[in-house]
Amino acid sequence: KGKRAFIAGVADDNGYGWAIAKSLAAAGAEILVGTWVPALNIFESSLRRGKFDESRVLPNGSLMEITKVYPLDAVFDNPEDVPEDIKANKRYAGSSKWTVQEVAESVKQDFGSIDILVHSLANGPEVTKPLLETSRKGYLAAISASSGSSISLTYIASERIIPGYGGGMSSAKAALESDTKVLAFEAGRKHKIRVNTISAGPLRSRAAKAIGFIDMMIDYSLENAPLQKELSADEVGNTAAFLVSPLASAITGAVIYVDNGLNAMGVGV
């Protein structure tokens, strides 16, 4: 039977989440997505108006179907956690049941269960600030939105110095990679669930453009990585499809680099 996947962090057709959804759909999975509440309207209307049709085309020529789009804000577990100003915000007030626990309950009600969970979201409100100048609030917000998960997307800034990847985002990715290992143990022993993360190279996504130096990182990689080609989101999507498939049945607790090999370099040449 086909597997059912929930991909958190899809709000347009440019990012890693979209590419992962496509690779999973091409492999026969049913696709559910979680979309950040403030981005929900524009995503759903673009989807409806056919703006993404070109990027929905799968290798066999059919179009990827998204069975359901759930509004989601991953920093709140349940309605008691939501502050008044967010509750009153009109972009949030138009949707309901978007906290993590409520979305999990809705998916359970709608479909019973899922087979694959993908975390492809991040938010560092102070990502453009150096860590030294990051506020406690900004730091905790980065950790809150950007760590946790079953398969997730991380970045090498967790383990090496990447100047400019600030606001506690490097810390959030370090937490994510550590959690990947501990969760692999706990979920593996308890439920036989595998937990992995992909350390992806630079991609010109909406989130990455907000950091401000993405073009420089892409150029740097082109110049210095073992494979001198631009990284496509599909290459990350295909790796995610592999990792969640039975082909990867002995892989858990792993950080898999999909970065044209840049992580292996000591110095640029």
- In the complex, minimum distance from the CB of residue 247 to ligand NAD, in angstroms, rounded to a whole number: 22
* Known catalytic membership, residue 165: yes
Among 6, 52, 139, 155, binds ligand NAD (CB under 6 A): 155
Stretch that binds ligand NAD, among 21-29, 51-59, 66-74, 101-109 (CB under 6 A): 66-74
Whichever of 90 and 189 has its CB closer to ligand NAD, that residue is 90
263 vs 190: CA distance, rounded Å? 33
- In the complex, minimum distance from the CB of residue 261 to ligand NAD, in angstroms, rounded to a whole number: 15
State which of positions 187-246 bind ligand NAD (CB under 6 A). Answer: 200, 202-203, 205-208
State which of positions 105-134 bind ligand NAD (CB under 6 A). Answer: 120-123
* End-to-end Cα distance, the chain: 49
State which of positions 86-105 bind ligand NAD (CB under 6 A). Answer: none
* Known catalytic membership, residue 70: no
- In the complex, minimum distance from the CB of residue 231 to ligand NAD, in angstroms, rounded to a whole number: 8
212 vs 224: CA distance, rounded Å? 20
Among 153, 162, 241, 262, binds ligand NAD (CB under 6 A): 153
72 vs 262: CA distance, rounded Å? 33
Q: Considering only CA atoms, which of 127, 156, 121 is closest in space to residue 139?
A: 127
How far, in Å, are 8, 45, 77 from residue 91 at the CA level?
A: 19, 14, 19
The residue annotated as part of the active site, out of 16, 92, 139, 155, is 155
- Secondary element (H or E) of residue 242: helix 233-243
Stretch that binds ligand NAD, among 6-14, 53-61, 85-93, 250-258 (CB under 6 A): 6-14
- In the complex, minimum distance from the CB of residue 235 to ligand NAD, in angstroms, rounded to a whole number: 12
DSSP string, 24-91: HHHTT-EEEEEEEGGGHHHHHHHHHTTTTTGGGB-TTSPBPPEEEEEEE-TT-SSGGGS-HHHHH-HH
Judged by CB under 6 A, how many residues of this single chain contact ligand NAD?
A: 27
Q: Which residue is nearest to ligand NAD (CB)?
A: 15
CB-based contacts of 48: which residues, under 8 Å, 6+ apart? none
Give me the residues that bind ligand NAD (CB under 6 A), please: 9-11, 14-17, 36, 39, 72-75, 120-123, 145, 153, 155, 200, 202-203, 205-208
For the annotated catalytic residues, the residue numbers are 155, 165
